[in-house]
Amino acid sequence: SSLHSGAFTWSSPSNIALVKYWGKKENQIPENPSISFTLDACKTTTTLKYSKKESGADFSFEVFLDGEKKDEFKPKIETFFKRIELYLPFLRAYHFKIETSNTFPHSSGIASSASGMSALALCLMSMENQLLMSSEGGKPLNDGFFTEKASFLARLGSGSACRSIEGDVVVWGKHADIEGSSDLFGVKFPYTVHENFKNYNDTILLVDKGEKQVSSTVGHDLMYGHPFAQERFKQAHKHLSHMIDVLKRGDLKAFISLVESEALTLHAMMMSSMPYFILMKPSTLEIINKIWAFRNQTGSNLCFTLDAGANVHVLYPEKETEQVLEFIKNELVEYCQNGHYICDTIGFGANLL
């Protein structure tokens, strides 16, 4: 089978972990299972243009962000291609033009690796599908397999990217309470999520838009030989069991405790590794304290979570949108760089455009 040239465009969202992935083994295998809300507004749109190569066995590609050539992105994509070529044997036979853009500002401190790597993985899967269909008597892949392999490939780009293919809640990593769960790809949460979580909000407060001082790759590696690693991995399993139950029952108070504990534990792992580091900023702590005070005063169900950076994700039910946004504008925006924050909600995964 062969194809001369063509293009595919996918748009794929970011996601926010409720139980965090921190620590991995060889081949992007997570040390513990994680669960996330897929986001809606924060996404990457990627067009993959491919054309058959005349000669040359090396990978051949160019990358553009918002129309600008980005050679600094090439090493990451080269590594990704090396990891996935075993599963996509056509990679070296084509030249690729990868054109990508994000809905959120590039230097916002929001990681674009989950949305970016999942969008690219999906474009490559569409290409594989096209190649299969163009061969003698070829049939397309079934949807379930397509999605699973896209998540599998995305994982090899950036671990958390495997949770961005589908929505609205995704589990990655083998866990006893989730049938079909795997360390190799994300699966959609197999139970009905309680209506309390319908259209759940995630307002992202951009505290620090600068480059991260410590990459998540370095952070994951510091879990090797970390004095608390084994306890942490056990705790993540327990937290996920509990979270599954909470999502089914709609217990918002239990949700808050679990989510905030997970965020602080993630950062506690960073602070207790060797070398140690701190990604929170003074404004991160100010925001956390304001959130706790507001919850005590009003009985609101808002809570915070953090990923590997200083920005704060404020999670809250749809019913409380007006009240919480008012609070954010009055009391939290002053801690955001240039007053910048992004309103997002739980979303339903990637789309072919």
Nearest to 125 by CA among 153, 160, 100: 153
Interacting residues with ligand PMV between 186 and 215 (CB under 6 A): none
Interacting residues with ligand PMV between 86 and 115 (CB under 6 A): 113
**Rounded to whole angstroms, what are the CA distances from 274 to 21, 42, 228?**
19, 33, 12
Query: Out of 308, 310, 314, 350, which residue is the one contacting ligand PMV (CB under 6 A)?
Result: 308
Interacting residues with ligand PMV between 228 and 267 (CB under 6 A): 266
**Rounded to whole angstroms, what are the CA distances from 135 to 2, 4, 5, 132, 306?**
7, 13, 15, 5, 47
**Rounded to whole angstroms, what are the CA distances from 102 to 160, 279, 329?**
17, 24, 25
CB of 135 to ligand PMV, least distance (A): 34
Is there binding between residue 34 and ligand PMV (CB under 6 A)?
A: yes
Query: Out of 21, 37, 50, 80, which residue is the one contacting ligand PMV (CB under 6 A)?
Result: 21
> Closer CB to ligand PMV, residue 131 or residue 167?
167
User: Is residue 143 within 8 Å of residue 43, measured between CB atoms?
Assistant: no
Residue 197: helix, strand or coil by DSSP? helix
Is there binding between residue 173 and ligand PMV (CB under 6 A)?
A: no
CB of 20 to ligand PMV, least distance (A): 4
DSSP 280: -
Query: Out of 158, 284, 300, 311, which residue is the one contacting ligand PMV (CB under 6 A)?
Result: 158
Is there binding between residue 17 and ligand PMV (CB under 6 A)?
A: yes
The rounded distance, in Å, linking the Cα atoms of 222 and 123 is 32
Is there binding between residue 159 and ligand PMV (CB under 6 A)?
A: yes
The rounded distance, in Å, linking the Cα atoms of 114 and 281 is 23
> Could you tell me which residues come within 8 angstroms of residue 309 by beta carbon, excluding any fewer than 6 positions away?
109, 111, 208, 212, 279
Of 19-27, 233-241, 268-276, 291-299, which segment contacts ligand PMV by CB under 6 A? 19-27
> Closer CB to ligand PMV, residue 52 or residue 106?
106
> Closer CB to ligand PMV, residue 11 or residue 158?
158
Is there binding between residue 349 and ligand PMV (CB under 6 A)?
A: no
The rounded distance, in Å, linking the Cα atoms of 178 and 243 is 12
Query: Out of 31, 208, 307, 344, which residue is the one contacting ligand PMV (CB under 6 A)?
Result: 307
State the residues that interact with ligand PMV by CB under 6 A: 17, 20-22, 34, 113, 158-160, 216, 220, 266, 307-308
